[in-house]
Chain A
Amino acid sequence: MCLGVPMQIQSIEGFQAHCEAKGIERDVSLFMIQDVEVRPGDYVLVHVGYAIQKLEPEEAAATWQVLDELFESTELEEAEGRGPTDGSGGERLR
């Protein structure tokens, strides 16, 4: 859970940002980074629905590269029938 997912801010309303990553859209709270100036187009690291820090675009891209590899191997493992049989824990952003 402490890995965090980089997302790009689409729009901001108060402490709520509408964010996007890999075609998936989520509302993300900016409550914890209210001291930090962010605007649409910026990247943030999202942890359980909260932005915990602002990210440089290169850092966001590099982190996604790692996440892609991790998710790929997890999916492969589950496809092999060795992963959990129930998808209840699978609400992670994919």
Chain B
Amino acid sequence: MSDAKAREWIDAIHQLDLPARVRVMNVCGGHERTLSMAGIRSVLPKNVEIIPGPGCPVCVCPEEDLYLAIQIALHRDATVMTFGDMLRVPTNVPRREVRTLEQARAAGAGVVPIASPSEVWEAAMQNPGERFVFFAAGFETTMAPVAARIAEGLPENVDLLISGRRTWPAVATLLEGDRAAFDGLIAPGHVAAVMGPEEWLFVSERHRIPTAVSGFRPDQLLSALHSVLRQLVEGRPVLENCYAHAVPAGGNGQARRLLDTVFEIVDAPWRGIGTLPASGYALRPNYAARDARVLHADLADESRKRMGEMPAGCGCADVVLGRIYPTECALYGTTCVPRSPVGPCMVSDEGACRIWWAGGIRSPEDLRTLHA
């Protein structure tokens, strides 16, 4: 926190005449990472709470999708390629069975972690006699490149298992009901860069909750936080774009067109949370012949759709929804640690539990020292 600009924002925040308790939600694992690693909570007024909300696509990837990916890897002559975070996420099958993609790989199945969709295309081109399944979970920032890669041309030997989700419908769900779970929102900068900041207008206009789009540096997050808190004090909620040089009005038109070309918007299940309206990306019907859900429907276990919860005792769904802090989960730091994670929030680099553990907030006592 030596940065002069950050220090100025911290001072400005401390000068605001804030209510007794203020809860600001962020909905991006990248934001949460900066907040935790830079120790931003420790320099804020103690009545300001920053709640990590739905910012981790791997965390909400349906258990039945993960189960299907594992079954494909185990029982089909195909290699499953997926972003590295997915490999260690456990399903709910009994411990004696293969519970993760990593275990499937250890058992000899074809599972390859990737960092970019292009790696799938390269593998497919280099091995024309083999079949590949690209299992893609992600929010808009990931699904836009996935859509771009598909739109550029899908090799004959690549099939697709798509578990993409949209961010704002989850926030809309949190705002249903009588009382909002938070007083201000820090909107995700790179989602807004792709989709346009306007997606978040409903928060300030319909729900009268101050909102600011933020970048990922400590000083940028502090400026967005200041915006939200100032709006709250003034009683004039708006959507402020505090990351304007990277987030143009309307977002990235090309990326949005590509998303629309390849995917349709569907009601979609979020692990442990349930089905949220218009929250998912699904392949358009013209890709049905390459849709792993269709091709491998016989491997899917329909009963999992009802069972598709978090592992027993795991509070991940409540963490994702910002209902509890990671330190309030009974398993956090006891049976669930990064080395032997129980739930996805302790696996993914974007999971709040994983980030808090790395950032040193490891017990309820650690959290108490941050808040009044």
| B138, CB-defined interface residue at 8 Å | yes
Q: Which of B320-354 contact A (CB under 8 A)?
A: 337-339, 349-350
Q: Which of A68-84 contact B (CB under 8 A)?
A: 69-70, 73-74, 77, 81-84
Q: Is the CB of A50 within 8 A of B148?
A: yes
| B24, CB-defined interface residue at 8 Å | no
Q: Is the CB of A92 within 8 A of B339?
A: no
The contact size tier of chain B is 35 or more
Among A4, A59, A83, the residue within 8 A (CB) of B339 is A83
Closest to A76 in B: B358
Closest to A55 in B: B246
Given A31-B148, A69-B37, verify A3-B216 contact (CB < 8 Å): yes
| B235, CB-defined interface residue at 8 Å | no
Q: Which of A37-80 contact B (CB under 8 A)?
A: 45, 47-50, 52-53, 55-56, 59, 62-63, 65-66, 69-70, 73-74, 77
Residue numbers in A under 8 Å from B75 (CB-CB):
none
Residue numbers in A under 8 Å from B274 (CB-CB):
none
Residue numbers in A under 8 Å from B358 (CB-CB):
73-74, 77, 83
Cα–Cα, bound, A29→B152 (Å): 11
Q: Which residue, of A56, A82, A84, has the highest number of chain B Cβ atoms within 10 A?
A: A84
Q: Please report whether the interface of chain B is mostly helix, strand, loop or mixed according to DSSP.
A: helix
Given A2-B188, A86-B88, verify A32-B144 contact (CB < 8 Å): yes
Q: Is the CB of B144 within 8 A of A35?
A: no
Q: Is the CB of B84 within 8 A of A63?
A: no
| B114, CB-defined interface residue at 8 Å | yes
Interface size on A, residues (CB 8 A): 42
Cα–Cα, bound, A48→B137 (Å): 12
Given A69-B38, A82-B339, verify A3-B30 contact (CB < 8 Å): yes
Residue numbers in A under 8 Å from B45 (CB-CB):
none
Q: Is the CB of A1 within 8 A of B37?
A: no
Cα–Cα, bound, A74→B354 (Å): 11
Q: Which of B19-70 contact A (CB under 8 A)?
A: 28-30, 33-34, 37-38, 57
| B363, CB-defined interface residue at 8 Å | no
| A20, CB-defined interface residue at 8 Å | no
Among A27, A31, A66, A82, the residue within 8 A (CB) of B34 is A66
Q: Which residue, of B33, B116, B139, B191, has the highest number of chain A Cβ atoms within 10 A?
A: B116
| B217, CB-defined interface residue at 8 Å | yes
Closest to A93 in B: B115
Q: Which residue, of A3, A77, A83, has the highest number of chain B Cβ atoms within 10 A?
A: A3
| A23, CB-defined interface residue at 8 Å | no
Cα–Cα, bound, A22→B191 (Å): 25
Cα–Cα, bound, A85→B102 (Å): 12
Which of B203-211, B253-261, B263-271 binds A?
Answer: B253-261
Residue numbers in B under 8 Å from A27 (CB-CB):
118
Closest to B38 in A: A69
Q: Which of A1-29 contact B (CB under 8 A)?
A: 1-4, 27, 29
Residue numbers in B under 8 Å from A69 (CB-CB):
37-38
Kindly list 14 other residue pairs between chains A and B, CB separation below 8 angstroms, not including A47-B141, A52-B144, A86-B102.
A1-B57, A3-B29, A32-B254, A32-B255, A55-B246, A69-B38, A82-B338, A83-B339, A83-B358, A85-B339, A86-B88, A88-B84, A91-B113, A92-B349
Name 5 A/B residue pairs within 8 A (Cβ), A-sorted.
Answer: A1-B83, A32-B144, A48-B142, A88-B113, A91-B84
In the A-B complex, the 4 residue pairs with the smallest Cβ-Cβ separation, listed nearest first, are A49-B116, A89-B84, A50-B145, A3-B30
